[in-house]
Amino acid sequence: MKQTFNKISDTVSAFFSLVFSSSVQRAAAQTKLTHHIVALNKKSSSMEIINEVSECLKDILGYRLFAFVVKKEAGVDVWLDPRMYKTSLEDIILKDFKIQSPEDLNYLNHSFEPDEHQEKFTLDTLVHYDLKEENCYARLYMLPQKGMTAFHDEVVRLILQGCATALSKQIKIENLKDAAVIDPLTGCYNRREFENQLHRHAASASRYKNNLSLFMFDLDHFKKVNDTHGHLGGDQVLKEVTMLIQENMRRGDILARYGGEEFIAILPETDKVKAMELADRLRIKIAALRIPFNGSTIRVTASFGVSELLPNTDTSRLIEDADTMLYKAKLNGRNTVMPGLIKVCAPDASPKADQRDFSRI
């Protein structure tokens, strides 16, 4: 790391010696750039690193960072300058990074209003720079307010050289942290991290008076799956079911492996009714899943228990309530959600599926 920084520092010094005839100008510009590059390597998150790049561009060139897009193993992070608009760049990012859906983009720092004015432009009006490291690929998009000279271009490249070193180091740190909190088989959080996340989300929900619900589920008769198809077959089922659940949850929802074939999910800003509706949709999808393994097809069902954070309820009670509901779901025949959805019909009507109404207990 020190060797890389010294190399960048030497390049900065040589470059500014060529650009500025005045030693005062040269020293001032070099000090600014060196300060920002040093600051980059002191940041403790990708977000902080990108913010520092933005400040550096503004400080030295008078330009504002338009967008910084980072592709990592976990997905694609997008940082947008607050003055700019989401729709203007989204199509370009999807095309450049070969992404199918906008839902696969993780916006780090921007909220978007439905009535925002959308400023249209194409890639031809943008200047972009690529950053490639062994563990990430990034692209900086800029919409210059004045022409890009050779001086501007070289300064940006020097900034990105320092950013690449800092970002690569930070991603390695993040990957190590992820390895400590991720269940290696299913790719969702482990129980310890679930408890950390639950405490944070419960505290936030209580502070801001937001809803918070949990659902807990496990796979019915899972021992029979292992006995019939072996533990490799059981592992395949756990991976397929986890993938299905994650694909049908919101980005902000949190899924964790609680133990064995038992899973638990945190649903922020979700009341009990919505949580039960989600659990029932997932139950149906799991029952419809066909998992090929060693020339055969494995089918499973799941039972769900749902609970909601109430005033004066702590996280232990929240988990206990979900666990109790899961136990009741097992007693009620499995492949069900508790509290459950029951059909309500007129006294003289039969409970036809296409005429049903729903009530919760």
Residue 353: the pLDDT is 38
Asked if residue 53 and residue 145 are part of one domain, the reply reads yes
Asked if residue 168 and residue 199 are part of one domain, the reply reads no
CATH assignment of the domain containing 112: 3.30.450
Span of 46-60, 211-225, 287-301 with lowest mean pLDDT:
46-60
pLDDT tens-digit map of 200-239: 999 999 998 999 999 999 999 999 999 999 999 999 999 9
Asked if residue 145 and residue 33 are part of one domain, the reply reads yes
Across residues 60-87, what is the average pLDDT?
76
Residue 28: the pLDDT is 66
Whether 118 shows a pLDDT value over 90: the answer reads: no
Q: Is residue 186 part of a domain?
A: no
Residue 21: the pLDDT is 44
CATH assignment of the domain containing 270: 3.30.70.270
User: DSSP string spanning 249-266?
Assistant: S-TT-EEEEEETTEEEEE
Q: Is residue 202 part of a domain?
A: yes
Domain containing 292 equals 191-360
Whether 288 shows a pLDDT value over 60: the answer reads: yes
Domain end among 124, 152, 181: 181
Domain end among 181, 204, 222: 181
Residue 171: the pLDDT is 84
Asked if residue 333 and residue 205 are part of one domain, the reply reads yes
Asked if residue 97 and residue 203 are part of one domain, the reply reads no
CA angle 7, 11, 17 (to 5 degrees): 145
Q: How many CA atoms lie within 13 A of 25 on its CB side?
A: 8
Asked if residue 222 and residue 138 are part of one domain, the reply reads no
Angle between helical axes of 272-288 and 222-247 (0-180°, round to 10): 120
Q: Is residue 32 part of a domain?
A: yes
Most confident of 24-33, 45-54, 262-271: 262-271
Pull the structure tokens for residue 198: 């639950």
Q: Is 255 exposed, middle or buried (0-12, 13-18, 19+ CB in 10 A)?
A: buried
pLDDT tens-digit map of 28-44: 666 777 888 888 888 87
Residue 300: the pLDDT is 97
Across residues 260-279, what is the average pLDDT?
96
Asked if residue 318 and residue 177 are part of one domain, the reply reads no
The residue ranking higher by pLDDT, 320 or 174, is: 320
CA distance 116 to 167: 32
Residue 59: the pLDDT is 80
Whether 357 shows a pLDDT value over 50: the answer reads: no
Asked if residue 202 and residue 344 are part of one domain, the reply reads yes
Q: Is residue 231 part of a domain?
A: yes
Asked if residue 326 and residue 196 are part of one domain, the reply reads yes
Asked if residue 251 and residue 204 are part of one domain, the reply reads yes
Count up the domains in the chain and report the number.
2
Q: Is residue 290 part of a domain?
A: yes
Asked if residue 219 and residue 161 are part of one domain, the reply reads no
Query: Which residues are catalytically annotated?
Result: 261
Across residues 304-315, what is the average pLDDT?
92
Domain end among 124, 153, 181: 181
CA distance 327 to 321: 10
Whether 250 shows a pLDDT value over 60: the answer reads: yes
Q: Is residue 121 part of a domain?
A: yes
CA distance 101 to 103: 5
